[in-house]
Amino acid sequence: MSKSTLKEAEKRTLPPPRTLGRHWLIELKDCAPGLLQDVPGVERIMRKAATVAEVHIVSGHFHQFSPYGVSGVLVIQESHLTIHTWPEYAYAAVDIFTCSPELRVREAIRQLQQDLEAGEVEVKMLERGRLE
């Protein structure tokens, strides 16, 4: 059997992984409002979190809202990180969606809490792509 035929046969017979991804939804409350206001600061914090998580950044895109507030995304090989900030409520919503179980996500969340000076952090983790 040729190598490519064997590979096809294996694909058909091997079961898929249990889940394809993990999605961490992070609520950061009572942050320092000044840290949530502008793109340079928010982008720096998110890139640092990505470094701590040991993900591989493909591209980053951050948008400044007026008069303040930021929406940003880091597209990563392992899926994405996003952030939306509401400085007027001292709140930021962060998502970390990964398709690799080996990443240091918890450490990244701790880093975010520290860098945004969040007084309260809530974390939910949901499985994505749970296949039969």
Please give the residue ranges that form the binding site for its own copies (CB under 8 A): 11, 16, 20-21, 23, 25, 27, 29, 58-59, 61, 63, 65, 71-73, 75, 77, 79-80, 82, 84, 86, 88-89, 91, 93, 95, 97, 99, 124, 126, 128-131
The position carrying tokens 């340079």 is 40
- Tell me which amino acid residue 26 is: I
Residue 77 vs 114, nearer CB to its own copies? 77
Q: Is 79 a catalytic site residue?
A: yes
Residue 44 vs 63, nearer CB to its own copies? 63
Residue 94 CA to residue 56 CA, distance in Å, equals 17
Q: Is 99 a catalytic site residue?
A: yes
Q: Is 4 a catalytic site residue?
A: no
Catalytic residue of the set 71, 80, 99, 100: 99
3-state class of 30 per DSSP?
A: coil
Residue 95 vs 117, nearer CB to its own copies? 95
**The two three-digit tokens of residue 100, written as one number:** 């690799």
Measured over the CA atoms of residue 131, residue 104, residue 116 and residue 39, the dihedral's sign is negative
Residue 44 CA to residue 112 CA, distance in Å, equals 11
Q: Write out the catalytic residue numbers.
A: 79, 84, 99
